[in-house]
Structure 1
Amino acid sequence: MPLTITTARSAPATAELVGIGVFSDRDRPKSLPDTVLDSRGFEGTLGKTMIVESKKGLVAAVGLGAADDFTANSLRTAGASFSRAARRHKNVATSVLADAVKEIDGLDQTAAAQALAEGLELGHYEFTTYKSKAKKQKLAKVVVAGSTSAGVKRSLAVGAGIAEGQMLARTFVNEPGGTLTPPIFARRVQTMARDKGLTCKVMDLAAIKKAKLGGLLGVNRGSTNHPRFVELTYSPKGKAKGTLAFVGKGITFDAGGLSIKTGNGMMTMKCDMGGAAAVVGAMSALKAAGVQSRVRAYIPMTDNMLGGDATRPGDVLKIRNGKTIEVLNTDAEGRLVLADALSLASEKKPDAIVDLATLTGACVVALGPKIAGLMSNDDDFAQDVADAADRAGERVWRLPLPDDYKSMFDSPVADMKNIGGSYGGALTAGLILSEFVGEGIPWVHLDIAGPAWTDSEDAVTRKGGTGFGVRTLVDLADNWG
């Protein structure tokens, strides 16, 4: 359950625990017991929280890191750390926002409040659906002590709404592939759309065939689960400032098709719909964030299996926009379903398109597990997305789309192959996607193969799906136009 986050001038007497911000390079607040914290090695490191007894009751020293390095995003980490530490207490309070505003000149209090709420909620997240004896958290309410202004209240509510979207994305990714099949995924998205005031259209197999989505149909040939294609539309109140399109890869489980993955390579492949999950999560949060641009989402859903009629290496697929692709590696399937989705998105002529996909291992090799690769056909739009990611605290790094690399996926029998050479796989995948973006439409491709999933934990993130990309998309839409 989401937390209840409220404001008050000071921590209420009913608070079972009070979190107090501590900078690693500033004097500690006098309300904290220095001797105890020193004896336990607490240094005020960002992301670390220590609960101790004080003269006024139970307090939590919440590390804020060095003051010179502190940004509004730091409060997301601090909030998550405090939320985790407070899991055994039902009603708590924290002054970390006020503590940060007091010490850091020029800190944007509203941005900081939003990040704090995101952190409090994300630190509280757990996926225990399949645990027979899950230990339930007691934490239910957090009072943010300090400012009670309308702006801070609004920012806390926005942050909570965005975190709810990111947690939804995490939950979708964490669901087993045999449970979250394309039809079930689509139904759950329909339910979300109804709850959040979005327009939702779902194409079943017959509709997908009628729409000539050859890439999606080709990937689905080896599966007993029928595909789905979901379109979502968010329309703001009043005149829209512009129109964005979000596209998310929704491979609900990737066995690789006939180009089958190894056992180890399949273990986390329920996360291959991380792009779709991020898009769905972001769409669910647009109303809460008060976004004034129109946003349409395009989400192809299928698993990639190896049934008796699975697509064979050498088969040729015809994509929605009429271009053909020779499939030489059935495990390079994401670009095939995205090709249809990008073609459909382009037909509506949006101002710009962003696609998110757990697309290539090559991107993980290049950038590691915590940074997404950003590729684009438009420098200005690439900067817009990079700026949104920076504000949202999600790391991206721009990679090139070299024109001369297009020859690497030339095909003797079709318009192109679905793979390039042995090197530069992230780049050739991006170039293939670019073939399906309408002429003149600014487009960004985010390869989130690394940061969509994690096998380690920190204050904000638990093992499993991360919901990476949700905050970036919401920020982009909120600042569009």
Structure 2
Amino acid sequence: MTALTLSTSSAATLRADAIVVGVAKGTKGPVAAPGSEAVDQAFDGKLATVLETLGASGAEGEVTKLPSPAGLKAPVVLAVGLGSVPDKDETYGAETLRRAAGSAARALSGVKKAAFALPVEATVDVEAIAEGALLGAYAFTAYQGGGKKAKKGEGPKQPLAEVALLGAKPRDKAHKAAADRAIALAEEVNRARDLVNTPPNDLNPESFAAVATAAGKENGIKVQVLDEKALAKGGYGGILGVGQGSENPPRLVKLAYTHPDAVKTLALVGKGITYDSGGISLKPAGHNETMKCDMAGAAAVFAAVVTAARLGLRVNVTGWLALAENMPSGSATRPGDVLHMYSGKTVEVLNTDAEGRLVLADALTRASEEAPDAIVDVATLTGAMVLALGNRTFGIMANDDAFRTSLHEIAEEAGEASWPMPLPSDLRKGMDSPTADLANMGERMGGGLVAGLFLKEFVGEGITWAHLDIAGPAFHEGAPYGYTPKGGTGSSIRTLVKLAERFAA
């Protein structure tokens, strides 16, 4: 993990391999942003002119490297675009700084130490820059470079090793707290990214449960793991039904972080399909290759609980990881089978590729038994949500409009794109079954909303509940941007942590 230090040193005197400054898009060309004064002075006040000569405009995410002039200890200056110059009396937004720091950190992979001289005008800026830099410096290299047989100097370029955040005061309690929060959050987001990126031959329900158990011991979190025998004894027909076609049996993992002064309890439920072949309803060619990411919801819940523990939040947070591998075999659930769910309801399985809602249903019922103040489930649940909202935005559904609105606002504040979605009651009829209490499929149009309505059936009476469908943003297949890498992104974790902080307050 990239190290982070706070420093009041001048950008001109700090020894580093590179200095990062911000450049904005002005009406007449690029403009050097606050924080870059010492670097601009080293360029005789002509930093913006030099950048414009090199083709820089200050557009958001744009990165320009140039050699340092005399007067700077660092040999390289990296200017990162911040977008338009803020209006009078306004400052650069947290997400703008977060993305800029991420872009810079990515561009400096292989560098040992970089000094970030981006605009720090409030404590929130310290946290945003630190978070962006630590998230942007992420790289998943565990399976590259020949492993133990690699020779010295071989293998992938390592991420930026150390970030010195200039303008942030190490003795300022608020600045230090902001940095500590950024470190804890980024480390857990990056651990979740590692889990999502891990090949399915190395991450199955049992090994995922082992990771959660180890993290629980490290962070004072009580962990309970139900194996296939305990699941059968408890009547968890949804989780068992999805996992019965695999040689790797399913698990239900409970992580419980408690605080002695907590007055509220938040339950988080995550879909953890460690590999999704579609089961007997096999996915078509071209749709299997990234299905190691179908446990991103469980990874998000795991990371959020651990982060809450590391931050010592005054709230009880319980995470439920519904883990299974969905495979086709002679023992797999067939279309037409009826599952006896943990709630006591029966479900006719019309499509075995609509499996996430089945494992979540059992976990939602179990979470409801503890009567939390709210339940939020997170899942890469439907391709329909990707069609509706694209690859960067997750959908929010809820049984309480105010809670749905609040979650949307929290996500925006955390820097995660989301959108409130309805749960139209007329779509419920499509899940009527002549054989069972309901079917796991309904109308094709509005499929993401149908899935939400299915989950709602398994939430305890009177409990506030929301569902986050992160199918779009959980796994990024395109080129990296900002602090978002290729592969697992850690989607929704920052939203869940901020929600837990709201509960704590």
What range describes the TM-score normalised by the shorter chain of this pair?
over 0.9
The aligned runs of 1:45-444 (5 Å cut-off) are: 45-55=59-69, 56-57=71-72, 58-68=76-86, 70-98=92-120, 101=121, 109-132=122-145, 133-137=154-158, 139-148=160-169, 149-236=172-259, 238-444=260-466
Maintained 8 Å contact 1:5/1:117: no
Question: What secondary structure does 2:82 align onto?
Answer: strand
Whichever residue aligns with residue 136 of structure 1, its letter is: K
Question: What secondary structure does 1:232 align onto?
Answer: strand
Question: What secondary structure does 2:360 align onto?
Answer: helix
More displaced 10-residue stretch of structure 1: 332-341 or 177-186 = 177-186
Whichever residue aligns with residue 245 of structure 1, its letter is: A
Gaps spanning 5+ residues in structure 2: where? 146-153
Question: What secondary structure does 2:286 align onto?
Answer: helix
Cα distance in 2 between the residues matched to 1:282 and 1:444: 16
Superposition deviation, residue 291 in structure 1: 1.8
Cα distance in 1 between the residues matched to 2:351 and 2:364: 21
Whichever residue aligns with residue 131 of structure 1, its letter is: Q
Cα distance in 2 between the residues matched to 1:385 and 1:5: 32
Residues 446-470 of structure 1: CA deviation (Å, up to 9, x unaligned): 0111010111121211111111011
Change (3 A) 1:140 1:459: same
Superposition deviation, residue 471 in structure 1: 0.4
Maintained 8 Å contact 2:126/2:179: yes
Maintained 8 Å contact 1:116/1:156: no
- The answer to whether 1:451 aligns with 2:473 is yes
Residues 30-86 of structure 1: CA deviation (Å, up to 9, x unaligned): 335334311221111222222212323332212221133831121110111121222
Change (3 A) 1:7 1:129: same
More displaced 10-residue stretch of structure 1: 339-348 or 82-91 = 82-91
Superposition deviation, residue 9 in structure 1: 4.2
Residues 416-462 of structure 1: CA deviation (Å, up to 9, x unaligned): 00000221100111000000000111110001110101111212111
Question: What secondary structure does 2:371 align onto?
Answer: coil
Whichever residue aligns with residue 278 of structure 2, its letter is: G
Question: What secondary structure does 2:163 align onto?
Answer: strand
Maintained 8 Å contact 1:9/1:147: no
1:475 is matched with: 498
Whichever residue aligns with residue 360 of structure 1, its letter is: T
Cα distance in 2 between the residues matched to 1:307 and 1:463: 32
Cα distance in 2 between the residues matched to 1:34 and 1:241: 53
Superposition deviation, residue 138 in structure 1: 6.3
Residues 103-136 of structure 1: CA deviation (Å, up to 9, x unaligned): xxxxxx2222222111111111000111125323
Cα distance in 2 between the residues matched to 1:338 and 1:401: 17
Superposition deviation, residue 479 in structure 1: 1.2
| TM-score, structure 1 normalization | 0.95
Cα distance in 2 between the residues matched to 1:231 and 1:191: 13
2:31 is matched with: 27
Maintained 8 Å contact 1:189/1:280: yes
Residues 302-357 of structure 1: CA deviation (Å, up to 9, x unaligned): 11001111111111111111111000100000000000000001000000000000
| TM-score, structure 2 normalization | 0.90
More displaced 10-residue stretch of structure 1: 325-334 or 133-142 = 133-142
Residues 210-263 of structure 1: CA deviation (Å, up to 9, x unaligned): 221110010111111111110001113x41131100000000000011001112
Cα distance in 1 between the residues matched to 2:452 and 2:431: 12
Cα distance in 2 between the residues matched to 1:329 and 1:308: 16
Maintained 8 Å contact 2:139/2:159: no
More displaced 10-residue stretch of structure 1: 150-159 or 130-139 = 130-139
Cα distance in 2 between the residues matched to 1:7 and 1:242: 37
Gaps spanning 5+ residues in structure 1: where? 102-108
Cα distance in 2 between the residues matched to 1:45 and 1:235: 45
Maintained 8 Å contact 1:317/1:325: yes
More displaced 10-residue stretch of structure 1: 427-436 or 88-97 = 88-97
Whichever residue aligns with residue 219 of structure 2, its letter is: K
Maintained 8 Å contact 1:201/1:230: yes
Whichever residue aligns with residue 201 of structure 2, its letter is: G
Cα distance in 2 between the residues matched to 1:353 and 1:458: 32
Cα distance in 1 between the residues matched to 2:472 and 2:313: 28
Q: Which runs of 4+ in 1 moved over 4 A?
A: none
Superposition deviation, residue 167 in structure 1: 0.6
Whichever residue aligns with residue 18 of structure 2, its letter is: L
Q: CA RMSD in A?
A: 1.6
Maintained 8 Å contact 2:138/2:159: no
Cα distance in 1 between the residues matched to 2:60 and 2:179: 21
Question: What secondary structure does 2:58 align onto?
Answer: coil
Whichever residue aligns with residue 166 of structure 1, its letter is: V
Identity %: 45
Question: What secondary structure does 1:325 align onto?
Answer: strand
- The answer to whether 1:463 aligns with 2:486 is yes
Whichever residue aligns with residue 487 of structure 2, its letter is: G
Whichever residue aligns with residue 78 of structure 1, its letter is: A
Superposition deviation, residue 285 in structure 1: 1.2
Cα distance in 1 between the residues matched to 2:310 and 2:103: 24
Residues 343-389 of structure 1: CA deviation (Å, up to 9, x unaligned): 00100000000000010011111111111011000012112211210
Whichever residue aligns with residue 328 of structure 1, its letter is: L
